[in-house]
Structure 1
Amino acid sequence: MIKMLHSYWAYLVFIMMIIATANALIKYFGKKEYEAKDFRIALFTLIVSHIQLLIGIILWFTQDYFSEMSMKDIMGNSVLRSNVVEHPVAMILAVAFITIGYSKHKKKLTSAGKLKPLAIFYTLALILVLAKIPWSVWF
């Protein structure tokens, strides 16, 4: 059940990351004003990504990878290495980037000042997510 929840929640996270990143980039480069809607988009993206991270951590700790095989076996298998090491590390970094961008944007006073950290850090997070989504099981 946790794996299914993690898989389906990922679609919401992915859609929100695309919306938040595109919104920040378009508004920043278009020199538009920061609005309450932008705050809500960034906040909702932060919330759903943190929920996904918690679900993923629960899933990671409930898997039997480490009781059945050694770390050497896991690192020697590219699929297992991706699922057990690379994907979780990349997603933790992506959520960290989202958190940093959100935190930095709250401290700024101007529209450009608020949109710039969102654009930078949400873009970095989206790139990491795009790089480590298991595309073969998504479609």
Structure 2
Amino acid sequence: MKFVKKIFASSLAALILCTVLVTGSAFANTSSKSVTGYGELTGTLSGKSYTTKVTKNPDRAYLTIKGSMQNKKGQTVVNTQQLSSSRGAKNLRGKWSSVPSSIYVIYGTHGVQGGSKYGPAAVYTYTHP
């Protein structure tokens, strides 16, 4: 049984290493929820990349992303400006242009707002760069 556990642990470690090498990040986080008028609002952070998307945008709202970056001590090192899509967009994608080497975790607030008919909504994510 110990041999099987060692094989499993080795295999799991190799899989994680391959994931890091292929994707450039060991951790991606996605959060989504159903939002009246916009269908599914989904936010994803993966390393230094972010995505905010909705399945529909009938009232020409903005999609947004706002980030916060902390070091291992839990101190906020960077608060990013809120970035917004053009009106009516269904996807907002990009990468943080500058992530200090001391950053341990990035938090993201992904939103849809500014529509003429439906209210704002947000989902929250985090990742390690």
Q: TM-score range by the shorter chain?
A: under 0.3
Q: Which has the higher helix share?
A: 1
TM-score in terms of structure 2 length:
0.23
TM-score in terms of structure 1 length:
0.22
Higher relative contact order (CA 8 A, sep 6+): 1
Instruction: Tell which structure's C-alpha radius of gyration is larger.
Output: 2
